Chain A
Amino acid sequence: MRSAPISITPLETYRNQSPYPFCPGCGHGFILDHLNQALVNLQLDPRGVVIVSDIGCVGLSDQYFATSAFHGLHGRSTTYATGIKLMRPDLKVIVVMGDGGTGIGGTHLINAARRNIGITVLVFNNFNFGMTGGQHSVTAPTGALTPTTLAGNLERPLDICATVAANGASYVYRGTSFDKDLPEHIAEAIQNQGFSLLDIWELCTAYYVPNNQFSRRALMDTLERLAFPTGLIHRQEAPEYAAAYRRLYAEVLGKPTLSPQSIEPIFENALDHPLNLVVAGSAGGKVRSAVRLIGRAALLSGLRATQRDDYPITIKSGHSVSELVLSPNEINYTGIDRPDVLLILTQDGYQKVAHYLPLMTRDDQLFVLPPFAGVETRAQVTVIDPSLSPRRVPRTGVTLVIVSAVIKQLAAFPPQALEEAARMGRKQFQEENLKAIAAGLAWADQKETTHLQGAL
């Protein structure tokens, strides 16, 4: 607690004055009394206890406690509890939910268990939706009679305890609302640092009992018939998530966060109008990173640049198209209606940019690999054949080699800017990129590259 100006311990009860609203004989009140007794046993500061409830009859429970409380949406109580615990690991966060919430929020339970987040979940398990008419829930035994299983339930009941125990929970208990020692187990669960769950079976006297001639005896028989174990089922030591998170990241605490990576212009440029350049290749061909490098080189030359990438949701297959706008002025529109310069490197890329070809004029330039030498266009076509490169073209750097050769030829900014841009990149790629750029620049100096130049 941040401060405790008001003395409130020792407490005789964590309940407020209001009587429970539940039906006569309903198990909810018994379980809540056990929870209250557990809190009394532990003598926790009620301001540091947050009871998180969701929907259904049990969702009303938090109102009857003089602790902090969060009443949220059906089945999502575990997520609110996780957020509270992550923000304030010092708090005792107790989720009270029904078997309905267990069904609709099952994935949250599994994942809270998997993380071993330090919250305690009490499942008030009476096999049906007592608030909405007694419909069957995920825990309804096979054969159970409810308004939605009129001929008997076809589904098998979810074993909540086995599910969370198999997935990382560090304290798992199954019992009934009749268990005299329930307060001790609830207290144990609250004291456990990690994720705790108690599956507590009980009677819904409004629906499940009359619909199934159910009773305390029948409840015990069902447990036995299903061979669901009871008592403390599972306990293991494991790091609690909120604490583990803080330990794991302690070493980055205080490190500088993201700040602008300023690029100072150190080269001249020769552009007095915007230049639209499109590179069309395949995923995995380093199209985006090559174009990113040109963008940085443009900024190093006092130009502005935008880079718009297009790619399918697959990562290493399909097209990869980068659209680059270079301009001496502010660029407001990042789209390209017609490229001034278009590079076609692969079939994937060709298919994606073929619509540009009829729009291109004699002033525009098209650079293509040999398979695309015959494309129909009015643009000036240069066929680039990597086999004619004076230096061996590294397979992974072929896009950057070609892009570098083209940039040299366009002469919008000095090729040294490309090298400087490569040095700004991640260290692991610097050497490889510089090699590719050098190969591209050397190639551009050879007349062979341009021997096919001219409108076809």
Chain B
Amino acid sequence: MREFTDGSTATVRGALAAGCTFFAGYPITPASPILMAMMRELPKVGGVAIQAEDELAAIGMCIGASMAGGRAMTATSGPGISLYSENIGLAIMGEVPLVIVDVQRLGPSTGGATTVGQGDVQFVRWGTAGGYPIIALAPSSIPECYSLTMKAFDLAERFRCPVFLVTDKELNMTMNTVDLDQYQDVSVRDRKTQEAKDIGEETFTPYRYHPVYGVPPMAHFGDDMIVRFTGSTHDERALISKDPPTVDALNRHLAAKIEHQREEIELVTADLQLGAKTLLVSYGVTARAMREAAILARGQSKKVSLLTVHSLWPVPQTAMKSALKGVERVVVAELNLGQYRREVERIAHGREIVGLNRVDGELISPDQFLEVI
């Protein structure tokens, strides 16, 4: 059983399967198909979808809805992420579960609205003031658009933080043939919550810094306790604080809850060939051409290993180190001028590291991979 479909449809189906109940977005190519489908589908499951007046409002509404118990998602492209920036920081600081889809398009500024690019990879990592760890997942196929959207919800709920799903124009809008049995459901954990009857308090303590990596349980607005939320540096009661030990505990907690548990998040598809001296590393739509090239190369008895990165952030360093064993040369392929190569270089230093890059709005072809294998 097969279907003819695109990544936006798979992402929307993944969101619905993950129990998404709130969506707010603003029209932008090439992410608009997600907005339109969510506007159509969410009311059917009793959820709410709204087209906001701008991107700042879109993510703002999502943050408010998430704190009121919604499972929220928004979708945009690079220029929209620019406008999300400040609120991404708020979601990190206030520990808000939220899925943000970035359907990448080419270039800085308006760039190429209908053109593929992978130039937001470092932007999603460092796209807000203050500099805190972020989770970003990258599907490389239509079935992965489905499963990694579910995974993004799972991680957002698990770690009480915004999680990016980083796709691109090509994945989101190009029609593909998909075998239905390739769609894999991911179990989505519910955020931990507490009620007054459990803890015997009228006022909830929304943040916890001990242990430093702990993910605090939530209570929602309208539940049975008084609930506070803040984007300012705060104590565990969400009261503004500048007390150095408190602020230190807060900031270390925000980093540690992801960094200390990164092995729970790191995700790759490794296709390693014994004796291969070359490792190809890629992600997103580019990883598909990489797979095609490997089939062709291996058909000519050339040995090559592949690593498709699914958790762009945190960098899957354990899997990468293991994939590097016996490898002399690493090729990092991406539709930008080497943004993820920096990350690979940190881990693969000492080996020859080659970038395969395109920024002309076209895909890297299997032939281009074959030239460097």
Contact = CB atoms under 8 A, between A and B. Distances in A.
Interface string A84-102: 1111101100000000000
Contacts of B285: 334
B64 A334 contact: no
Contacts of A63: 239-240
Given A4-B224, A90-B222, A333-B289, A257 B203 contact: no
Interface stretch (A43-51, A205-213, A342-350): A43-51
Given A72-B90, A295-B175, A333-B365, A260 B196 contact: no
Range of interface residues on A (Cβ < 8 Å): 35 or more
Contact of A249 (B43, B57, B63): B43
The residue among A46, A255, A312, A333 with the most chain B CB atoms within 10 A of its own CB is A333
B367 A334 contact: no
Interface stretch (B47-55, B159-167, B272-280): B47-55
Interface string A1-37: 1111110100000000000000000000000000000
Interface string A298-338: 01000111111111110000000000000000011111010
Contacts of B86: 73
Contacts, number: 246
A87 B41 contact: no
Contact of B114 (A242, A256, A313, A335): A313
A83 B60 contact: yes
A69 interface: yes
A314 B225 CA distance: 51
A332 B291 contact: yes
Contacts of B29: 313
B41 A47 contact: no
A50 B44 CA distance: 28
A62 B239 CA distance: 10
B289 A335 contact: yes
A85 B72 CA distance: 14
B224 A2 contact: yes
Given A76-B87, A263-B4, A71 B61 contact: no
Contacts of A262: 1-3, 180
B330 interface: no
Given A63-B240, A83-B22, A71 B230 contact: yes
Interface in B84-112: 86-87, 90, 94
The residue among B2, B3, B44, B178 with the most chain A CB atoms within 10 A of its own CB is B2
Given A6-B202, A79-B52, A257 B226 contact: no
Nearest 4 pairs of A and B residues by beta carbon: A83-B64, A79-B60, A249-B43, A83-B61
Given A91-B221, A309-B174, 6 more contacts: A68-B226, A87-B22, A91-B222, A292-B4, A303-B177, A333-B363
